[in-house]
Structure 1
Amino acid sequence: MKAIQVHQFMDLPSSLQEDGKVDALLSMNNDLPKPDLLKKNQMLVRVLACSLSPGDVIMVQGNMVFMHQPFPFIPGMDICGEIVDRNGSANFKNGDIVVASNGLIPIGGMAEYMVIDEGEAVILPPCVSKEQGASSSSAVTARNAIMDHVKEGDRVLILGGSGGVGSAAIQIAKTHAKASFVAATSTQLDLCKELGADQVINYKNVDWWTVDEYQQEKFDVIIDTVGGGNYYGRAEKVLKTAKKGGTFVAVAGDDPQPDCRTAWKVIKFFGNMLKNMIYTTLKTRTLPNYVPLWPHDLAKSRKEVLEWMEQGTLTIKLDGDPLPFTMAGVRQAFITVSSHHAHGKVVVKIAE
């Protein structure tokens, strides 16, 4: 089978922008064996589309020691594909088109065939495109961030409104959580307003924590899909205290490019988030609640997101047309996602 392989960890996007280095880091192998040894509850799918997310970038950079895989490995984890071997499953049949992820280790998707766990798969509604189905993973993250923390009538601020998670979060907050006011930070003002944002702040011109209107009438929830920038430290200026229901949801963590290449750095990274959680429980009168968003109920949330897409109440915004399954196409996909300036989801079309 044909697949993309990573041969060593790389710094993105700079490594892929230097032509002389690319072949040593990333290659297209046209003669890999198709997976044939399936374990219980696993299925084999023919991949039709694979989307990339910041987690895929972290994987190929080697930033998380507990996600390291032997070289060479196949990157990508969020796919839409056709089941070719259901392996005895009672819930699926060969020929079903499913949306799936391989859990928390982002490997396997940039290939013509991929092994998935049955529990991770959800049938693609017939009116939803394969590319949008593969790109629904960020909407699953947005769904959990919004529906777990936003109540009807809340005022919500979404940091990073034009990204994969942010663009879905605007729609879900407005339509499904029924927030009374949704603001977003983005340079893509028209896009965010089209998605349902009541107000859009161009972060290049205005610091959102300095807006007088927000300081006077504070937000109930801030969803941070960007990370870094000491945003939690600045949020208290425009976000209610925990005692009054104020919640800061850290989707991207405190660092969008975490360096967890050693056990000590892993402890330090997660320890900082744990420290924020504990500290805010002791300062509920003066600080907002700090909540890191951990992956949970992924298959259940994926099914709900796909139902919303089928109903037309949620649209997955793509960053331009799907990219081709070529070295140039995959290379551009990683460059775009790692730049942190994607306007929607970046997806590679693997097959018809």
Structure 2
Amino acid sequence: MSRPTMKAWQYDGITGGLEKNLKINDAATQPAIGDDEILVEVHAMALNPVDFKVTESGMPLTALGLKCIPGADFCGRVAKTGQKVDSFQIGEWVFGAKVGAISNGTLGQYVSVSQDMLTSLPNGVEVDDAATVGTVGLAEIQAIKPNVKSGDKVFINGGSGGTGVYGIQIAKALGCHVTTTCSTGNVKLCESLGADEVIDYKTSNIVDTLAAKGPVFQLAVDNVGSPAGLYKQSASYLLPNGKFVQVGATPSLGGLAQITSNLLVPSFLGGGKRSYQILVMKASTDGLKQLGAWLREGKVRAVLDEVFEWEDAPRAFEKLKTGRSKGKLVIHVKQDSGKGAL
């Protein structure tokens, strides 16, 4: 018996960039689910840089003949549940992130996820907004929440991108004082999200500006991977027990070399003198529930740069790769029929 099919954006090569290879498959195989998994009918998904960086880094997925579906973030309805799933009902609205998705992502009509990768959509939260929070929200909450208490000072490098817009708001929701960076045109956006101080990297030297404040920050979250020396000079602005958490990095050999140096070069040989961590994001229902509650309460809001319709998915990837988005890029996933279909 043949498996059900679905519409999905797929790619089987990366020559010229992922966006040049995306094609709609009207008869892609609908994903199967295990006993502890859930099949979600996707109505909206959001893009993240990892959606193309991992693929274009040379991972040989397409060389194996695979037709891959990109994407990790989603919001939609429960279509089917495995035999061991009793916490979700058919038709229930949910949102989350398929953590670790590489080849069977969310840019299709259906996606299969484990129970720890989603949670119920709170009343009053818009589908498009919830679709943006899974990956970046979990990354920032896992980088910030375990390392601070109310009243602490937090530095967030890269406040206007898809990740940083949530980082600012999460730190503020936890009662922290927030300093962030962005370009001149995004200063007001960062201020509107609650940033107490914004460093314009177009007109100021970030490290010098931080060092001038002295060692006052409990936590530094780097969503960018630049400028060079941000970690190695962190003792000038981080408290002795402070921590530097690497969330984003420059996708280049230079960026990899810098992270390797941060990890391996000891302080007496010119390395950093503060605790250094590369964030490895984990699936977390509790984290998603907290993010959903903050969205419902208005303590956190989604920042949508642009919303694309199904047919314009390649254009969304083109914009993502410019690195100039203010907030998140959302794609509506076209459903054939059914209540709430977009």
Interval containing the TM-score (normalised by the shorter chain): 0.7 to 0.9
Which of 43, 54, 68 is the matching residue for 1:73? 68
> Quick check: 1:311 aligned with 2:309?
no
CA 1:97–1:81: 2 relative to 1, 3 Å: same
Work out the CA distance in 2 between the residues paired with 1:68 and 1:234.
39
> Quick check: 1:45 aligned with 2:40?
yes
CA 1:233–1:286: 2 relative to 1, 3 Å: closer
- Equivalent position SS for 2:212: helix
| Aligned CA-pair RMSD | 3.0
> Which amino acid in the other structure matches residue 325 of structure 1?
W
Give 1:302's aligned residue.
Answer: 288
| Residue ranges of structure 2 left out of the alignment (5+ in a row) | 1-5, 335-341
Give 1:338's aligned residue.
Answer: 321
Give 1:99's aligned residue.
Answer: 95
- Cα drift, residue 65 of structure 1: 6.0
- Equivalent position SS for 2:78: strand
> Quick check: 1:275 aligned with 2:270?
no
Please say if residues 10 and 60 of structure 1, whose CA atoms lie closer than 8 Å, have aligned partners that are also in contact. no
Please say if residues 6 and 60 of structure 1, whose CA atoms lie closer than 8 Å, have aligned partners that are also in contact. no
- Equivalent position SS for 1:148: helix
- Cα drift, residue 274 of structure 1: 3.8
Which of 107, 117, 134 is the matching residue for 2:131? 134
Give 2:7's aligned residue.
Answer: 2
**Alpha-carbon deviations, 1:113-170, whole Å to 9, x = none?**
1222223221111211111111112111111111122232222211100112211111
> Which amino acid in the other structure matches residue 169 of structure 1?
G
Give 2:338's aligned residue.
Answer: none
Work out the CA distance in 2 between the residues paired with 1:68 and 1:214.
50
How many pairs align?
Answer: 325
Give 2:203's aligned residue.
Answer: 205
TM-score for both structures, normalised by structure 2: 0.85
Please say if residues 214 and 237 of structure 2, whose CA atoms lie closer than 8 Å, have aligned partners that are also in contact. no
Work out the CA distance in 2 between the residues paired with 1:95 and 1:211.
51
Please say if residues 178 and 195 of structure 2, whose CA atoms lie closer than 8 Å, have aligned partners that are also in contact. yes
**Alpha-carbon deviations, 1:21-60, whole Å to 9, x = none?**
x3xx22112232433x332212222110111112101233
Give 2:220's aligned residue.
Answer: 222
Work out the CA distance in 1 between the residues paired with 2:154 and 2:251.
25
Give 1:165's aligned residue.
Answer: 163
Work out the CA distance in 2 between the residues paired with 1:183 and 1:57.
29
Please say if residues 219 and 246 of structure 1, whose CA atoms lie closer than 8 Å, have aligned partners that are also in contact. yes
| Residue ranges of structure 1 left out of the alignment (5+ in a row) | 17-21, 260-265
Please say if residues 222 and 239 of structure 1, whose CA atoms lie closer than 8 Å, have aligned partners that are also in contact. no
CA 1:127–1:208: 2 relative to 1, 3 Å: same
Percent identical: 25
